[in-house]
Structure 1
């Protein structure tokens, strides 16, 4: 006997045949899907104490976010578009002005945002990029994972050492007072080992650890000098080797022209590697990505995609696997993967000046089955198939922007947004029903987020970054440069 049966929905399976089943049903037993078919077919074989009527709803796999940042939920929009202020806020908050309570509250907020948007699995770097990760002690990663666990989503938490030189100054709070201390590479590496042992594969596989090492771009190789560059190379190999040994995803943030070729030279690419942004790649680097089986997380809404272009169609045509990331929530983007699917299509169509590029079904693949492959999870998630984990999203089509009720998959990708999500099942558990979270009190999550953000602002002295910038109104460009 099944535990949950979803009936009378438009089931978008994302299975190998990409079946779309009108009046479809999905049967779930414990944490697994046991049947997918028409409602008549499934009900002929299964009954369940919980039956969800999905009439006028899309039934689809949970969406997967291939790249985002923990901590950013409390920093978003700070600086009002001033990139330097934004990075200063991240660096200070994440190294010397955050507590375990900060990371726990932010994790719950970000996981709740994902849940409300139908994102059942996401990658979260434990900080603001590859140079300001909170890996001085395990307690911060523990707090983040505990927050995600409470909300009930899946998370791949990326941790790793910061860029040389070391030691780096971090601070813990003792009786409300910041106590600074230098942290070595070895201490950061040990923190990663501890978090792997504690969390990887926990909560029935919902929580996993990935390893990250700083991307070495041309400017870094020039800035570090010979000694620190050699040390950075050694540390990158150590981290990549540990990821392979432990069977983890190995990720790097901020790749662009030249850095992929250098990563190949270091021997850190391969089927467990997931590189974010990957803008302005050379033809040789596109070939390297495909030949090594390395995966790319494309973030079409990110500032990096304004400064350069990720050659997604070229990568796909070369045989590489590309997933979508939100790069959320910094500093102007959310975790709504519908937004990023739509941005992705328009971004590349504008580049080619041709609306035939990246059909809508292709971008849905990039944040379902292709994203699952990028995380090494394609046997468990990314599609609705018997035997896979029961990560299922119901999206309400009875909305003015999605009617009339025809061509539903087109409507899903071109017009839907995260607020259309009605029900979310993760690992066979109903985590969202009628747009309300099941396992946490949403008001408590929001109140905790407000309290911890206020405390962070007091510790950093960065309240001035909340002011509306002088060029917010009545300017065509937010810059001190002369406007033409």
Structure 2
């Protein structure tokens, strides 16, 4: 008697042969896939404690979102009209106005949204700029993901200099400010990895995550050629420490990179963060020389589709053609990106096709690879997740095709990529456990999660003084273009009012 049998669905295996099985099924026992094949054969071969009839559904691997942010789900759309000032506003909130409990309640909401969009494994960078001064934030976040039943890769590490930097903890409603050194931030990241990597029955992993691979150039956009001189002593020290931590704990490295950083890091290879155990997010505006460096070093890339890619494109197609593994990510959920991988696939395809003026780039099959098996390779977990194969962990979702926008039931992969949305995901299985069935979550009281998230979000908004950044502008209705002609953010005034120093 096996634990679970899925029958009579259209199976998208994402195995090496990319098999598509009409009237197929998946047999699961003790958390792993023990068979994938024709439903009639599986029904004859196995008796199961639970059988799920998947007629009219696609059975496929769970999505893997290789880059998103812990904390963002309680800041959705805040300051999105102040997008040029979004980073200092939200980073200040993370550094000084979130409680320890914030990370738990946000983690539950984040994991719940991912679950209901079919994401079975999600990367969470702790904050906008990673916050690693205390491990409790990451520990609380991982606890929340475990309770929901979604796998999480917790990513934290040092922010950019200068150091020391001030951070706040809240105890009994009172704010306690502490000056944190770079060494303390590194030790905090180590404590997270020691506590969480391979924890909770390997539902949780932890990567060392410096904010960017080179701290001395622009941290959120390509750096002009004339500003690319040499690595600083801090750049070298950070790279050396990050590499030693990854080796010490046998974990992986995740960071952001933009045009110029890769060239600069490659000039002194002993201080570069490249290789098969690294995945770099964004890589917007990188040169073809930098594409070659990533390909030659076997470095993995993850990229999210957004407006920034219009000004400085991530050369996704070139990276793929050079042999680099590239994953599509959401970078969600703040300020405006949901955890919906279907939307992310379509947006990525449109951006690349528009940039290259070629309709035929990124066909549907490749897009689906980039959120399943390629994403699993990107995070170094493809030996166990990312495809439906015998011996792999049973992370499986079903997508309900019994709906007008997904009918008629043919060209299933095209339909998934072009017409499906996150709410079409019907059933989610993680490690052989049915976490959601018929869109009913089995692990938590969904209403309670939403109520707690709303309460914590509003408390944080008031504590951090974020109300002005939630109001629509006077150009919100009836105008073709928005302007922000009222003064909402002034760095000096904001610092004085909040009693903080924005770096």
TM-score, normalisation: structure 1: 0.95
The yes-or-no answer on 1:268 pairing with 2:273 is: yes
The aligned residue for residue 192 of structure 2 is 195
Question: Once the 2 structures are TM-superposed, how far is the Cα of residue 133 of structure 1 from its aligned partner?
Answer: 2.1
1:200-279 mapped onto 2 (5 Å cutoff): 200-215=197-212, 216=214, 218-219=217-218, 229-253=232-256, 255-264=257-266, 265=268, 266-279=271-284
Distance 1:462 1:20, change over 3 A: same
1:45-444 mapped onto 2 (5 Å cutoff): 45-128=45-128, 132-215=129-212, 216=214, 218-219=217-218, 229-253=232-256, 255-264=257-266, 265=268, 266-300=271-305, 302-444=306-448
What SS class does the counterpart of residue 49 from structure 1 fall into?
A: strand
- Bigger Cα displacement from structure 2, 455-464 vs 47-56: 455-464
| Runs (5+) with no aligned partner, structure 1 | none
Q: Is the 8 A contact 2:228 2:260 kept in 1?
A: no
* CA–CA separation in structure 2 for the residues paired with 1:480 and 1:158: 34
Question: Once the 2 structures are TM-superposed, how far is the Cα of residue 331 of structure 1 from its aligned partner?
Answer: 1.1
The aligned residue for residue 461 of structure 2 is 457
* CA–CA separation in structure 2 for the residues paired with 1:344 and 1:367: 11
Q: Is the 8 A contact 1:75 1:89 kept in 2?
A: no
Q: How large is the RMSD of aligned CA atoms in angstroms?
A: 1.9
Question: Once the 2 structures are TM-superposed, how far is the Cα of residue 480 of structure 1 from its aligned partner?
Answer: 5.6
What SS class does the counterpart of residue 81 from structure 1 fall into?
A: helix
* CA–CA separation in structure 1 for the residues paired with 2:171 and 2:203: 32
Q: Is the 8 A contact 2:82 2:484 kept in 1?
A: no
Q: C-alpha deviations, 1:154-174, integer Å up to 9, x for none?
A: 111101011111111001112
What SS class does the counterpart of residue 260 from structure 1 fall into?
A: helix
* CA–CA separation in structure 2 for the residues paired with 1:80 and 1:310: 22
TM-score, normalisation: structure 2: 0.91
Q: Is the 8 A contact 1:27 1:35 kept in 2?
A: yes
Question: Once the 2 structures are TM-superposed, how far is the Cα of residue 134 of structure 1 from its aligned partner?
Answer: 2.2
* CA–CA separation in structure 2 for the residues paired with 1:174 and 1:313: 49
Question: Once the 2 structures are TM-superposed, how far is the Cα of residue 226 of structure 1 from its aligned partner?
Answer: 11
* CA–CA separation in structure 2 for the residues paired with 1:400 and 1:449: 33
Question: Once the 2 structures are TM-superposed, how far is the Cα of residue 81 of structure 1 from its aligned partner?
Answer: 2.2
* CA–CA separation in structure 2 for the residues paired with 1:454 and 1:281: 39
Q: Is the 8 A contact 2:153 2:204 kept in 1?
A: yes
Q: C-alpha deviations, 1:111-170, integer Å up to 9, x for none?
A: 000000000011110010xxx322111111111111111100011110101111111100
Q: Is the 8 A contact 2:199 2:205 kept in 1?
A: yes
The aligned residue for residue 21 of structure 1 is 21
Question: Once the 2 structures are TM-superposed, how far is the Cα of residue 199 of structure 1 from its aligned partner?
Answer: 1.1
Q: Is the 8 A contact 1:244 1:272 kept in 2?
A: no
